[in-house]
Amino acid sequence: MPKTLTDWIDLPPVWLALCMLVVWGFDQLMPWGLFGPSGRQAGAALGVIGLGLMAAAVTQLLTARTTVVPRRQPQTLVTGGLFAWSRNPIYLADALILSAAILWWDVPVAVPLVFGFMFLIQHRFILREEKVLRAAFGPAYTQWAARTGRWFGRSLR
């Protein structure tokens, strides 16, 4: 578990919450009205998909008896199920949830925040996690990484 306040703050759910707070703040400053009722419906759908994806990925990791906490040493390389389609389904779920908030609160100016969030997560967490997985699981990780996209996608290799 995180030991210091900084360790607690520097976790993906905290970054997601901060980004969502920014979106909410934009919503409070100026009503945009671009997406309208269909934006709320799409936002609700994306939010449900994101939460479902997150719950399923967490369940899959816990079933495999490995960690869901960044910076902890994984016990198992999970490559099936959701992890056959995304090496980072929980982070993908975070991006979907942030996108859902943008649609729900109707804040089109915040769309670039999704890409900024993904960049931040990739450089603060994913790249380090990849090094740890490569060191721990060697060729098995390399094969999985070659056929499964970092965010989403599958190669036919």
Question: What would the pLDDT profile of 98-136 be if each residue is shown by its tens digit?
Answer: 999 999 999 999 999 999 999 999 999 999 999 999 999
Q: What is the pLDDT of residues 1-51, one digit of tens each?
A: 556 666 667 899 999 999 999 999 999 998 778 888 999 999 999 999 999
Confidence (pTM): 0.91
CB 113 within 8 A of CB 17: no
Residue range 60-83: mean pLDDT, rounded: 95
User: 154 φ, ψ to 5°?
Assistant: -135, 135
- On the CB side of 40, CA atoms within 13 Å amount to 4
Tokens of 144: 């999985």
- What is the tally of helices (H) and strands (E) in the chain? 6, 0
Higher pLDDT, 33 or 64: 64
| Least-confidence region, from 10-24, 51-65, 142-156 | 142-156
Q: Report d(CA 135, CA 73) in Å as an integer.
A: 11
Residues 144, 111: Cα–Cα separation, whole Å: 31
Residue ranges per structural domain of the chain: 35-147
